[in-house]
Copies of this chain bind each other. A is one copy, B any other.
Amino acid sequence: MLTLYDYGPSGNCYKVRLLFSLLRIQCIRIDVNVKKGETRTEHFLKNISPNGRVPVVIIPSDYVHKLSNVENSSTTSKTPTDSTSSSSSNNNSTNEQQSIILTESNAILTFFSDGTPLYPSNPIERAKIMQWLFWEQFSHEPNFSSLRFWITLLDKGDDPQYLDKINERQIKGYEALNVMEDHLNKEDWLVANRFTIADIALYAYTHCAEEAGYSIDSFPKIKSWLRRIENMPGYVPIDD
Residues on A lying within 8 angstroms of B by beta carbon are 50-51, 53, 59, 64, 67-68, 70-71, 75, 77-83, 90, 100, 102-108, 110-111, 114, 120-128, 130-131, 133-135, 137-139, 141-142, 179, 182-183, 187, 190-193
Question: Assuming A51-B139, A179-B50, A182-B50, is B134 touching A80 (CB within 8 A)?
Answer: no
- Is A102 touching B131 in the complex (CB atoms < 8 A)? yes
| A and B contact pairs by CB, cutoff 8 A, 12 listed | A67-B124, A68-B122, A68-B124, A71-B122, A71-B123, A78-B120, A78-B193, A104-B131, A110-B127, A111-B130, A134-B137, A142-B142
Q: Which of B79, B100, B128, B141 contacts A138 (CB 8 A)?
A: B141
**Which residue, of A120, A135, A138, has the highest number of chain B Cβ atoms within 10 A?**
A138
What separation, in Å, do the CA atoms of A126 and B142 have in the docked complex? Answer: 25
- Is A126 touching B111 in the complex (CB atoms < 8 A)? yes
Chain B: minimal CB distance from A153 (Å): 19
- Is B134 touching A104 in the complex (CB atoms < 8 A)? yes
What separation, in Å, do the CA atoms of A106 and B100 have in the docked complex? Answer: 23
- Is B50 touching A128 in the complex (CB atoms < 8 A)? no
- Is A134 touching B122 in the complex (CB atoms < 8 A)? no
Chain B: minimal CB distance from A219 (Å): 15
- Residues on the B chain within 8 Å of A120, using CB: 77-78
- Is B114 touching A131 in the complex (CB atoms < 8 A)? no
- Is B50 touching A122 in the complex (CB atoms < 8 A)? no
- Residues on the B chain within 8 Å of A79, using CB: 122, 124
Instruction: Name the CB-closest residue of B to A189.
Output: B82
